[in-house]
Amino acid sequence: MTPVNPLPQPPEARAVHKSFALRDHRVDVLRGADLCPAPGRITALVGHSGSGKTTLLQILGLLLPPDSGSVRIEERDVWQLSDNERADLRRRRIGFVFQTANLLPQHSALRNVALPRPGDAHHARRAARELLDRVGLAGRADHRPGELSAGEQQRVALARALVNGAGTVLADEPTGNLDADNERRMLRLFRETADEGRAVLLVTHSPAVADVADTVLSVTDGRVIPEPHNSPSPEARP
Amino acid sequence: MTFYRLAAANVRSMWRRFVGLVALLAIAVAVCVTAFAVSGRAQEAADRRVQEGTANRSVTVERLTGRHGAKPLTGTAVRRLADIRHVASVQPRAQVSFGYKGPGAPGALLYATTARPALKPPVTRSVRSGLFPLRPGEIVLPERAQGNDLSALLGKKITVQTTHAEGAGQGRGAAAHIRVVGLFQPSWQLDGPDAAYADDTTVVRWAAAKAGVPADQYVRTVGYDRITVVADSADHVGKVLHSVQAKGYSAASLQQEMTALPGVLKLIRATGRILLVVLGLLALIGALVVTGALARQRVREIGILKAVGFRTRSVLAMLITEMAVVGACGAALGAALGAAGAAATAAGLRDRPDLGPYLADRIPLPGATALCGVLLLTIAVTVLGAYLPAHRAARLPPADAVREW
């Protein structure tokens, strides 16, 4: 699929703080985290469990408000916008891939992919078919998620993330439930996605995912810091 | 993808989850439609009997036999009533029983009744046009009486048995000859069941013979059994009724009498109204429960929709549209079942002599307005019941809704 040109700029998190109340305790998860996934690159976000990777991804994806700090798109602080405006930004600019594919089980792969695309149903279906073809699932368009393997479901989820020409793809453990073959296939698709100029942010524990990333960042003590050895060798790419 | 397309697709995909609510709505709507169709048709039949024109303007004055101080409905009473303001005409009625035995009727007891211009029976067949006023020696019979078909008597001169008084509490039968010149719908029961209409002279002569008084003194001494007072306009019926009652006569407006349905039909109508309220509550509770349960089951789905850019309003609209479609399906199915139920109920009641006339003509189907009303009401109540849980679900923060990932 040819992405919309120019691609929308990715969101940028600046000095983000986020804490959660846990029983009587207050847990500061993020303490001044900065993150801006670069267009045309895969950024891997690593860190131990509970470090705040997913929280940061949700904040960057406009799903969760920060306690302080800002998330900006083209210098606009998105948390100053209305819910509807944020929903529109999510639809037009950001694609999500979840650990479990999170497809609507009652609908076909085709309808799941077309879901975020409003307006003309004919065009939405055509774009969805093209994307399913690209992820190698043209023949499974009419199948429901329950009739697809985990790897196939994740590929449908990636197609859904791209259907609106989003400039940013945020993925949380996208290969966590996949075998090695399907993981490689997904990573190859992420690479193609980044090569088209999109910013791809992968939250992961998987060394294989980190290996294909152009940049590896770690969430440590509530901040985002570069990981050493963050330039993978060309042969590590899928 | 727009919310209504998604809602339609959701209903198609998840129809099994909605079957219970659709069935509940369909049954409730069916019972309501049945009750309203049957009682509505009966009401229509009753309304038709209250003919336009003079019938609607009539006030009926009854003779209260055996009550102390009750005023007789003599010629003097007729004149007094005629003097009331806004009275257009006063039409007295005499009624006397007679028997007929012969072809078509092995034994029928009928009531010869003076035909009044204001309250002509609905004639179905006659020997001539312009039947009223009847000539001496003519009678108009109901098509059926006491289970006997009398239509074969039309145009024939028949012999009937009247009663001649021969002393206190005693009498003998006497034959009289009369010609049947018309037949009317037996559902016309303004003058009671089994009334037959004859000219004034004949009825008064038979009544006087039965009472044991000379015919020329009957009106002055015994008097009529009923007087119909016709107001000059429908608007004045109330005033005329009040004036008649103020003069000491027992009176009621014909409209009041005619709109009174038989008890069973009243019960059916009342049941319909009660069920309508029950339907509303059922739909409300059903929608509340089903939407609430579905919303809880579909938290992740709602989170996904919001994550991919659906606005809160679109998610709410989707959930509401789903329930509106379910409500419409339930109402449509219920209306179809209700029409069948109404036909079956009418068929079951049609053989009852007291109810048959109200349900005789055709299969009772609810009117388009009633059907649309039930459909819209069902949808409205279902949507109303769905609103709160749908609103709560749609407002879930997307991060909460997809927390598992």
pLDDT, tens digit, 9 for 90 and up, residues B276-302: 777 777 777 877 787 777 777 777 788
Task: Please tell me the distance in Å from A4's CA to the nearest CA on chain B.
Answer: 18
Helix (H) or strand (E) holding A68: strand A68-73
pLDDT, tens digit (0-9, with 9 covering 90-100), for B123-164: 999 998 888 889 999 999 998 888 888 888 899 999 899 998
Is B307 in CB contact (< 8 Å) with chain A? yes
Max mean pLDDT among B23-27, B48-52, B193-197 falls in: B193-197
Task: Please tell me the distance in Å from B315's CA to the nearest CA on chain A.
Answer: 12
* Per-residue model confidence (pLDDT) at position B111: 93
Task: Please tell me the distance in Å from B10's CA to the nearest CA on chain A.
Answer: 7
Quick check: A216 pLDDT over 80?
Answer: yes
* Per-residue model confidence (pLDDT) at position B260: 55
Assess contact for B245 and B237: CB atoms under 8 A. Answer: no
* Per-residue model confidence (pLDDT) at position B193: 81
Confidence of residue B181 (pLDDT cuts 50, 70, 90): very high
Quick check: A224 pLDDT over 90?
Answer: yes
- Find chain B residues with C-beta within 8 A of A115's C-beta: 1, 6, 305, 308
Least confident interval from A151-155, A230-234, B83-87, B231-235: A230-234
Q: Average pLDDT, stretch A130-151?
A: 91
- Find chain B residues with C-beta within 8 A of A121's C-beta: 1-2, 5
HEC string for B311-343: CHHHHHHHHHHHHHHHHHHHHHHHHHHHHHHHH
Task: Please tell me the distance in Å from B284's CA to the nearest CA on chain A.
Answer: 26
Quick check: A233 pLDDT over 50?
Answer: no
**B308 with A102: Cβ contact below 8 A:** no
CA gap B110, B142 in Å, rounded: 9
- Find chain A residues with C-beta within 8 A of B300's C-beta: 102
Confidence of residue B203 (pLDDT cuts 50, 70, 90): very high
Quick check: B352 pLDDT over 80?
Answer: no
Domain ranges of chain A: 12-106+151-226
Helix (H) or strand (E) holding B205: helix B200-211
Amino acid at B250: S
Q: Average pLDDT, stretch B20-24?
A: 83
- Of the residues B13, B319, B405, the best mutation for testing chain A's interface (the one with the most A CB atoms within 10 Å of its CB) is B405
* Per-residue model confidence (pLDDT) at position A229: 56
Count of positions (residues) in chain A: 238
B158 DSSP β-pair partners: B178
Least confident interval from A165-179, B176-190, B261-275: B261-275
Task: Please tell me the distance in Å from B7's CA to the nearest CA on chain A.
Answer: 11
Confidence of residue B47 (pLDDT cuts 50, 70, 90): low
Amino acid at B176: A
Q: Average pLDDT, stretch A166-190?
A: 89
A115 to chain B: closest CA residue: B1
CA torsion through residues B301, B303, B306, B307, sign = negative
**B300 with A114: Cβ contact below 8 A:** no
pLDDT, tens digit (0-9, with 9 covering 90-100), for B210-267: 988 998 999 888 889 889 888 888 788 888 888 988 888 878 776 665 555 556 666 7
Quick check: B166 pLDDT over 60?
Answer: yes
Quick check: B350 pLDDT over 80?
Answer: no
Give CATH superfamily name and number for A12-106+151-226.
P-loop containing nucleotide triphosphate hydrolases (3.40.50.300)
* Per-residue model confidence (pLDDT) at position A234: 42
Quick check: B182 pLDDT over 80?
Answer: yes
Quick check: B358 pLDDT over 80?
Answer: no
* Per-residue model confidence (pLDDT) at position B294: 75
Angle at B280 between CA B274 and CA B283, to 5 degrees: 135
**A106 with B14: Cβ contact below 8 A:** yes
* Per-residue model confidence (pLDDT) at position B356: 58
Strands (E), A8-67: 12-22, 25-35, 42-46
**A84 with B10: Cβ contact below 8 A:** no
CA gap B232, B57 in Å, rounded: 7
- Find chain B residues with C-beta within 8 A of A111's C-beta: 1, 9
Confidence of residue B404 (pLDDT cuts 50, 70, 90): very low
pLDDT, tens digit (0-9, with 9 covering 90-100), for B302-339: 888 888 888 888 888 988 898 889 889 988 898 888 88
Q: Average pLDDT, stretch A70-76?
A: 90
**B402 with A83: Cβ contact below 8 A:** no
Quote the percentage of chain B above a pLDDT of 70: 84
Nearest to B1 among A84, A90, A121 (CB): A121
Angle at A34 between CA A32 and CA A37, to 5 degrees: 160
* Per-residue model confidence (pLDDT) at position A1: 47
**B405 with A88: Cβ contact below 8 A:** no
* Per-residue model confidence (pLDDT) at position A38: 93
More confident residue, A12 or B370: A12
Burial of A95 (0-12, 13-18, 19+ CB in 10 A): buried
Q: Average pLDDT, stretch A202-214?
A: 86
A55 to chain B: closest CA residue: B399
- Find chain A residues with C-beta within 8 A of B298's C-beta: none
* Per-residue model confidence (pLDDT) at position A190: 92
Tell me B226's DSSP state.
E
* Per-residue model confidence (pLDDT) at position B12: 83
Q: Both tokens of residue B270?
A: 């009342």
Quick check: B46 pLDDT over 90?
Answer: no
* Per-residue model confidence (pLDDT) at position B82: 92
Confidence of residue B354 (pLDDT cuts 50, 70, 90): low
B62 DSSP β-pair partners: B226, B250
Residues 58-117 of A with CB under 8 A from B: 58, 61, 63-64, 83-84, 87-92, 96, 98-100, 102-104, 106-107, 111, 114-117
* Per-residue model confidence (pLDDT) at position A57: 94
* Per-residue model confidence (pLDDT) at position A75: 85
**A84 with B312: Cβ contact below 8 A:** yes
Quick check: B382 pLDDT over 50?
Answer: yes
* Residue given tokens 């969805």 in the structure block: A128
Beta-carbon count within 10 A of B177 CB: 9
* Per-residue model confidence (pLDDT) at position B171: 81
Nearest to B308 among A84, A90, A106 (CB): A90
The ipTM, to two decimals, is: 0.83
pLDDT, tens digit (0-9, with 9 covering 90-100), for A77-112: 998 999 889 999 998 899 999 888 788 888 899 999
Quick check: B268 pLDDT over 80?
Answer: no
User: What is the average pLDDT score of chain B?
Assistant: 81
B313 to chain A: closest CA residue: A84
Q: Both tokens of residue A97?
A: 């891939």
